[in-house]
Chains A and B, each alone.
Chain A
Amino acid sequence: MPKTGGNQPAGAHSHPGASGAWVSKLHVPTGSSRPGEVPDFSALHLVSDGALFRPEPDCEVRDAEPLARGLVRVLDDEGVAGGPWLPELSDEHLLQGLRHMVQVRAYDERMFRMQRQGQLSFYIKSTGEEAVAVAQGMALDSGDMLFPAYRQQGLLFVRGRDVVDMMCHCISNARDNCKGRQMPVFYTWKDGNFFSISGNLATQFSQAVGWAMASAYKGEDHIAATWVGDGSTAEADVHNAMLFAATYRAPVILNIVNNQWAISTPQSFAAGGTTFAARALGYNIPGIRVDGNDFLAVHAVTDWAVQRARQGFGPTVIELVTYRVAGHSTSDNPDAYRAHNESDAWPLGDPVTRLKDYLIGRELWSEPQQQALEAELKEAVSRDWKQALSHGSLEDGPHWPVATMFDDVFQHMPAHLLRQRQQLEEEE
């Protein structure tokens, strides 16, 4: 047995008791549920409280403070829209938002099934949090730069990326614009001002601030927006991002997607008993906590942050309170770490259903139209999938030529890589 006592601080008297263990006083957080438990989201304090006012986008941070701990909502539990945050959005815009969300869901379902059939090595769904990327994407201009994490595929649909191209990336075939180098869902799309997604969590958060600083430096009006998960906020990059954004008043929107879980770890491990929006206050950035499953509220809050950034008043942190309905990815089974069907107990409902019901209530939409839309988009995804496969599959190709793995390591290939490439070609 090792001599742990040899490293005790001078004068320390704490030794394990006769039973061989200390009586621990260490606090370890718990979450909304573990398997077999009844889900309990009361610790989230999901009530609007002080968030029932809308300050001007150029306000002082202290004037927006209650928004960091309340919950901005537009659609109430009955689906009625109202309050100071009610956005002025055209009917077409709202219907388009619904369409995007339904399409994201259809795409996710299909890709998930294809992963289960072995056509993709991996996949990540955004089920239950589609309003985040879709409403926020729609609130931004096409010239604004997006620095997403891996669960904001909705942005690509808003920006009109070709679905076949997305699929071709996910199966690393000859038409994959990542050239077979990246795992599925780590999209990149420069033409759409969509930054290359990293596998290392949170790195994009502070890079987005740098992009925004460059935009201000050059006197331009484009802003940057970036997304990170609740768990990922623990990384130092998130704190670096807030500090730089505040220091240089960078035109950036820092979005924290609080979907309650980071793989098996509850959001409480990163939140430490406060809200994620409240983190912003210490950096002198306004923090707004919003019902992330309320398309209208998400849109309105993002509009506010866009105005603030574009007018030169600097960054906003938005916490989007939502729920990760699916597993983390195709690699885990959530029943192993949270109550089965915990999502049924989620108090903020489903973003697609809520927007749909609202539109039906306003007689802009109907159930038969919804069913037709779902069928149409499911059909479209099937067509796209067939077309994607016609460019090659993960297992059988065609892929990019193997030797292209040596391209793009540098702008110009140095001699040692030329030699290695030649060796590979001789092996083939």
Chain B
Amino acid sequence: MAVAGTTPDSVTLRAEGGVARRQAWSRASRYILLVATLLGLVVLVILGIDNAIVGIPSLDWDFLSNYPSRFAERAGIRSSILGSVWVLVFTVIFAIPVAVGAAVWMEEFAPQNGILTTVRLNIANLAGVPSIIYGILGLAVFVRLMELGPSILAGALTLALMILPMTVITSVEAINQVPPSIREGSLALGATRWQTVWNHVLPGAMPGIMTGTILAVARAAGETAALIMIGAFTFIAFDPSLSFHGLLDSFTTLPIQVYNWTIRPQPEFRANAAAGIIVLMIAVIGLNALALVVRDRLRRN
């Protein structure tokens, strides 16, 4: 065996001079970038604290159960909460079947040609249309042309069109997640394509569709501009009726009520706006959290 080799000259490999400086910057950059990342969240936290301080004193049962009023201390969100719930229920009833139907057609049945590409591009573009434009559409078509007036029905149809693109997109993704082997297995047993979709693909896509639906509801729940556009900025001091005719009643929603109180010049209303914001934020954050839970829970099963 040969004699062991040697190493005449030594190095330290320590960071010195330029390298030390560059590494110092690089290490510091981690914290600088982290702070920048958190800055937006800091604003959100301040927003939460500010509204909590201003709003919590007014947040009591009376606030939840009273109708709006000219007097700040007597004003409440009863009609706007009921209006929000009612409009959102019908928004979901209108939007989800259409969105899932469109997604199923696109993923399972559509011919692979220009028509499908057109539908895809069209939906991607609709997703980027500002909500106030959907409001104009609702105003012209549902309120005026169909003569529904600024009603719950017109509001729900407007919001349904607004959330349609995003629910189609999430439904398409959910259907895509279903492994092809499931379809093949079902078809091999002699099921028709529709039976396969109904019995296997849709159940498999359910978690994704539900998650997308809940997120879309959260978005619709906070929508203000489109509903003001169709004329929902009104004073409502009655509960929506549970009849078919009730659908043609006018309505208000929680975000519209918050807007109303925000633009009042009298400072007393600031507390009402903050209390309304607390309720709205709890609802929206709750829906977002629910979406995450639903996705995890159903995915596990």
Indicate whether A and B interact: no
Which positions in B face A, CB cutoff 8 Å? none
Which positions in A face B, CB cutoff 8 Å? none
